[in-house]
Amino acid sequence: MKNLQKDWLTQNWIDFEYKKFVVLAYLQHVQRHFSDKKFYPDLTELRDHYESGLRFRARKGTLSASFPKEVTGIDWETLGFQYTSRVDEDEKLREIDSIIDFAVPRFGKTLSEGQQMADEIEAGLKLIPIGMLPLYRNEGYLFLHWTDHAQTHIYYFCLKWSGLPSFRPNPAADPVGDPSVRTQYIDSVRKGIGRTFEALKLDLIRRRPHLPNPATFMVESRRRLPLEHTLLPLAGRLVERQATA
């Protein structure tokens, strides 16, 4: 199954049994990814669906009040007009209510389970500054490294709200995780004798002189995690917290 569209609630048929099937199929799809330790973009999208459902519940009265109405009489006690809706809203709204009541708690439960799993994995990651950290830490380099593997993946990172003119992201290379951090893939290298993380940082400074004193971090994982769907977005969260501390 593909990801659940933002307008899933009103897409195609507004029918409880049909939407129930759509929601369960989507959550099964997400849970399979979680079982494979793939958390992004599913966590982000699932949170959006959960929060959208809560907002819809809160605004339902506003939605009902916005339906076109016509005057059917006068309330002589209040000297106000009496209205009835020109839309047969009751049956459709009851169906939507049933769908939302079914979906929202299931979105919330799956979101909570996935977030707990991701937090446990994040707690096992090690964030290590490479060299001296500058005062300005909103952009720099991120090394991703597995303990039992010689290869290191190198990314440029930038906090999205920093507004740096030097940042030229490749949207196709951006991770699908933390929306506060942008990354751009640079290289994958094999670490060895004479090729330390400090030496890799110095090489980056020589090759990319527009960042003469970059904040540089290494995130190490003892577990082999999916790079794009887990390790990179979780590393971005760690770097953001360190950069803004």
CB 158 within 8 A of CB 138: yes
State residue 196's pLDDT score.
Answer: 86
Residues 156 and 188 in one domain: yes
Tens-place pLDDT, residues 151-208: 899 999 998 754 443 333 333 333 334 457 899 999 999 876 677 889 999 999 999 9
State residue 177's pLDDT score.
Answer: 45
> Has residue 2 been placed in a domain?
no
Among the candidates 120, 147, 178, a domain finishes at: 120
> Has residue 5 been placed in a domain?
no
State residue 120's pLDDT score.
Answer: 95
CB 243 within 8 A of CB 137: yes
> Has residue 169 been placed in a domain?
yes
Whole-number Å distance between alpha carbons of 46 and 162 = 27
Burial of 14 (0-12, 13-18, 19+ CB in 10 A): middle
Residues 155 and 116 in one domain: no
Among the candidates 120, 150, 177, a domain finishes at: 120
Q: Which residue has the tokens 């933002």?
A: 6
CB 215 within 8 A of CB 133: yes
> Has residue 7 been placed in a domain?
no
Residues 185 and 84 in one domain: no
> Has residue 10 been placed in a domain?
no
Q: Residue 183: count other Cβ atoms within 10 Å of its Cβ.
A: 24
Residues 115 and 186 in one domain: no
Give residue 63's pLDDT band: very low, low, confident or very high (50, 70, 90). low
210: CB partners within 8 A, 6+ apart: 166
Tens-place pLDDT, residues 70-116: 545 555 455 465 555 544 556 777 888 899 999 999 999 999 999 99
CB 160 within 8 A of CB 200: no
Q: Looking at residues 36-57, what average pLDDT do you find?
A: 92
Whole-number Å distance between alpha carbons of 237 and 203 = 25
Residues 140 and 219 in one domain: yes
Give residue 65's pLDDT band: very low, low, confident or very high (50, 70, 90). low
Residues 93 and 185 in one domain: no
> Has residue 96 been placed in a domain?
yes
Residues 99 and 144 in one domain: no
Among the candidates 74, 95, 120, a domain finishes at: 120
Between residues 44 and 58, which one has the greater pLDDT?
A: 44
Q: Which domain holds residue 29?
A: 16-120
Residues 60 and 141 in one domain: no
Residues 85 and 151 in one domain: no
Residues 135 and 215 in one domain: yes
**Strand runs (DSSP E) across 76-168, as ranges?**
80-85, 126-129, 139-146, 151-159
Q: Residue 40: count other Cβ atoms within 10 Å of its Cβ.
A: 22
> Has residue 115 been placed in a domain?
yes
* Three-state secondary structure call for residue 192: strand
Helix, strand, coil percentages for the chain (3-state, nearest 5): 45, 20, 30
Half-sphere exposure in the Cβ direction for 196 (13 Å, CA) = 6
For the chain, what is the domain count? Answer: 2
> Has residue 4 been placed in a domain?
no
Residues 100 and 133 in one domain: no
Residues 227 and 184 in one domain: yes
